[in-house]
Amino acid sequence: MLASLLMTGAGWSQDEADEPAFSRGGADGCLGCHRQPELQGIFVSPHGERGDARTPFAQLECESCHGAQGSHPMGGRESVVTFGEGALTPVDEQNAACLNCHESPVGAEWHAGEHAAQDLSCASCHNSHLAKDPVLAEATQADVCYDCHQRQRGQAQKPYAHPVRFGKMDCSSCHAPHGSATQGSLKRLTLNETCYECHAEKRGPFAFEHQPVTEDCALCHAPHGSNHPAMLTRRAPLLCQQCHSQAGHPSLSLTAGSLPGGSPSALVLGGSCLNCHAQVHGSNHPSGITQMR
């Protein structure tokens, strides 16, 4: 039965014995044996679009990705390209099957990226057989990443975090998943540029800049989530005192009554620094040099 299948519909040709041959039956031949319902979503995915000459199903169908059928299934699993975890096919070959069609723009980013250096396969993140690939949807992407990035899962659950856990943002809101020249594989050229995309009001320029803000938002903010309001890495005054000496605060020389906080101790206790220095991201007020307005 197997032999007759091979000789007829999905047969291999004798004259090209060293190069595995593509089947004549195409997808129909494969589907004769591979009927699993979980494989069939691919027909309604963008790859299944037969009207688009660039897609697999307008070309060699299943074999566009899985390679020539050749001696399969007699040759076993290793006789076709298998993908993802537990695959027998080396990662380079798996990825080449996809990059055949996706060299631009994916390939260029990919080869320079950390995930390629870590030997990930495209199928570590992409599921090609579902109608909708979960890694492409805001609501489901993070779960794919959390498979390997457990720490970020924990951070996203903290009380102050970007709305990733509500499916309103995803990791690729900030990251280039295929890779980028930026440290941390961010979407934009610098960390701050990445943040400005959504927090444009923090870009300035301000008449009075606060140096750490123009340098690196992450000096004060934990972008994956934090236990402190506004996703701060720590609370004020500790946050500020990492860089500003307590002793040097000029208000110590002022009389207690002349300050809005009442007494000098209000600087560090209930009042905190932000009660007075509210414009911590920079100020455009003529007397904004100390970021109080």
Q: Which is nearer to ligand HEC, 93 or 99 (CB)?
A: 99
Q: Are 248 and 226 in contact (CB under 8 A)?
A: no
What CA–CA distances, in Å, run from 138 to 18, 142, 165, 283? 45, 8, 10, 35
Q: Which is nearer to ligand HEC, 212 or 227 (CB)?
A: 212
By beta-carbon distance, which residue lies closest to ligand HEC? 184
Q: What is the Cα–Cα distance from 135 to 120, expressed in whole angstroms? A: 15
Show Cβ contacts of residue 46 under 8 Å, excluding neighbours closer than 6 positions.
52, 55
Residue 74 corresponds to which tokens in the numbers above? 């007699």
Q: How far is the CB of 137 from ligand HEC (least distance, A)?
A: 9
Q: How far is the CB of 157 from ligand HEC (least distance, A)?
A: 11
Q: How far is the CB of 139 from ligand HEC (least distance, A)?
A: 12
**Torsion angle in degrees (nearest 10) through CA of 16, 58, 37, 177:** 100
Q: How far is the CB of 15 from ligand HEC (least distance, A)?
A: 19
Residue 180 corresponds to which tokens in the numbers above? 């980028």
Q: Which is nearer to ligand HEC, 199 or 293 (CB)?
A: 199
Sign of CA dihedral 116, 101, 91, 174: positive
Task: For residue 63, count CB atoms less than 10 angstroms from its CB and return exposed for 0-12, middle for 13-18, buried for 19 or more.
Answer: buried
Cα–Cα nearest to 3, from 197, 286, 12: 12
Q: Which is nearer to ligand HEC, 39 or 158 (CB)?
A: 39
Q: What is the Cα–Cα distance from 151 to 157, expressed in whole angstroms? A: 10
Q: Which is nearer to ligand HEC, 17 or 228 (CB)?
A: 228
Backbone angles phi, psi at 27, to 5 degrees: -55, -35
Q: How far is the CB of 13 from ligand HEC (least distance, A)?
A: 14
Q: Which is nearer to ligand HEC, 31 or 227 (CB)?
A: 31
Q: How far is the CB of 8 from ligand HEC (least distance, A)?
A: 11
Q: Are 194 and 187 in contact (CB under 8 A)?
A: yes
Q: How far is the CB of 124 from ligand HEC (least distance, A)?
A: 4
Q: Which is nearer to ligand HEC, 17 or 163 (CB)?
A: 163
